[in-house]
Amino acid sequence: MSSLNLDDFTDLIERPDGGVRRDAEAHRERRIVPPGSLGRLDDLGEWLAAAQSSVPVRPVERPRVVLFAGDHGIAELDVSARAAGTAAGLVREVLDGGRPVSVLARRLGVPVRVVDMALDCDPESLPEDVVRHRVRRGSGRIDIEDALTPEEAEAAFRAGMAVADEEADSGTDLVVLGDVSVGGTTAAGVLVAALCGTDASVVTGRGGRAIDDLAWMRKCAAIRDALRRARPVLGDQLQLLATVGGADLTAMTGFLLQAAVRKLPVVLDGVVTAACALVAQRVAFRAPDWWLAAHDSGEPGQAKALDRMALEPVLSHGIRVGEGTGGLLALPLVQAAAALAAELPEEGAGESAEPDVSAEPGVAAGPDVSVGPEGLAGRE
């Protein structure tokens, strides 16, 4: 019998401080720039202030990129532009500094953490700190079998929770969450379609490396078949993740919920993180208040999930590469919003006081413009 009760998250997760958000809004009204003139930056600053429970908002000084990695058996059906079982190569490129997220993280000075949950490779081929949470080698082919056993699903979920605790305890003040996977967008599409009650074609995108029409049709068929297996377990979110999710997606869901418990704000990257967030919202309806949607990737499943959670993307650049890249691009905007909210002075602040004309009796504070018997005097 599992001791993991997801219903506990409903009580453990609180909304960000509404009073602090109102204080942040009031502070915005008093600033020297007209209300609304900074557009979305005002909203970002107020979201962060509420998450931090601090007015003025504190700067984001210790952000971290956290990437959960895994291979998905469904990739065997050629639903991805990458060959099945090759996510480990992507992870090595991230670690070696050769992926887009690596370049951006290096430029921004943000550390990147990769967590292997189900890569299809020898664990000894990767660093110990990457593989120590691994649950299994590759997740099952979700159109015909479960992605995980119940025990593996619980282990993956707890691993995600543990990573969230580790980040919160280490002083991380904001997480950019992403995935490194092959076949992950197919599993994400199944979750979104199941939870939103839509057909496979509505949520099927073309992935990080745009697939051709034949691959797209194979992907639609795979999502359709997996969706038949997902619908009977919609009432149990952990069972849903075990059936059609995978170890990396299950861990991300646990991470998102525990991060909300720990009041750690999270920036969501693409369709995979959006799908996990949608599952987490089903578990605890207050949790999305702790998340920020970084960008619109153009993936229909992501758009569907974000709309269901009422999360509006900050950027819209059509970035489909995943790996936290789009999330990391949004980070400077969040940091800029925090700086503006904290450092812009209020209206009237710093202005000099009115001159004191009565400081010394008989001595005028400015030019003598008094009118005497000889008319205006004292003017040059």
The catalytic site residues sit at: 323
C-alpha span between 71 and 248 (Å, rounded): 8
Q: What are phi and psi of 179, to 5 degrees?
A: -130, 155
The answer to whether 194 and 44 are in contact (CB under 8 A) is: no
Phi-psi region of 29 (alpha: psi -120 to 50; beta: other; left: phi over 0): alpha
Secondary structure string (H, E, C) spanning 193-253: HHHHCCCHHHHCCCCCCCCCHHHHHHHHHHHHHHHHHHHHHCCCHHHHHHHHCCHHHHHHH
In terms of C-beta density within 10 A (0-12 exposed, 13-18 middle, 19 or more buried), how is residue 201 classed?
middle
Q: Residue for token digits 């958000």?
A: 21
Beta bridge partners of 175: 64, 266
Phi-psi region of 21 (alpha: psi -120 to 50; beta: other; left: phi over 0): alpha
Beta strands in 36-154 (DSSP E): 63-71, 112-118
The answer to whether 118 and 246 are in contact (CB under 8 A) is: yes
